[in-house]
A and B are shown apart, each in its own frame.
Chain A
Amino acid sequence: AQRVTQPEKLLSVFKGAPVELKCNYSYSGSPELFWYVQYSRQRLQLLLRHISRESIKGFTADLNKGETSFHLKKPFAQEEDSAMYYCALSGLSGGSNYKLTFGKGTLLTVNP
């Protein structure tokens, strides 16, 4: 069985402060991990995926297989980062396609 845990429902930081959204996973195979984000009144969208190893909007996330974690980090939070963040893990659904298991999400609020 695969599982994604986001221990914090709410996270509040001040503008310019570092931010870390935690994600731990459980998966028996080799996982592919994602962070999805939902800004206010917008649809859910991909923020980043571990295999691309990119920094998107200043966010990075490193897959730590030893700790089964995929924490999302940003050194200096901005007010526009306020959103709901979901960590997700892919499994193969039958054929060769992606079925995502999502965590419950963390609501990030960046205060001015």
Chain B
Amino acid sequence: ETGVTQSPTHLIKTRGQQVTLRCSSQSGHNTVSWYQQALGQGPQFIFQYYREEENGRGNFPPRFSGLQFPNYSSELNVNALELDDSALYLCASNFPGHGELFFGEGSRLTVL
């Protein structure tokens, strides 16, 4: 059984650029969530996807968008990057209705 994998692990962008982060869910999980973790903070919910549809969204602007594919992998896209977008982005998968989330190791984004 493979765990949640994320890519890239680290990346550096400049303000105004766009970024795409990728996530492969744990085998058998069809629900994926994305979290942003700023330095010294707990993870903050961005949005969740279930069966390729957005299934809930946190307090993030529309320039944060996502996709889920038929194989349950997922992407997080952020447009018009701002300095405050610098953070660790975590992907988590779970079975629908099960509260245990399985996290990836995260993608650390630095915006200069």
A interface with B by C-beta (< 8 Å): 4, 32, 34, 43-46, 49, 51, 86, 88, 90, 92-105
A-B contact count (CB 8 A): 74
Stretch at the interface among B12-20, B66-74, B76-84, B94-102: B94-102
**Chain B residues within an 8 Å CB radius of A92:** 56
**Chain A residues within an 8 Å CB radius of B40:** 104
B interface with A by C-beta (< 8 Å): 3-4, 31, 33, 35, 40-45, 48, 50, 55-58, 90, 94, 96-106
CB distance B99 to A101 under 8 Å?
no
How long is the Cα–Cα vector from A85 to B4 in the complex, in angstroms? 20
How long is the Cα–Cα vector from A105 to B88 in the complex, in angstroms? 15
The contact of B103 among A44, A101, A105, by CB within 8 Å, is: A44
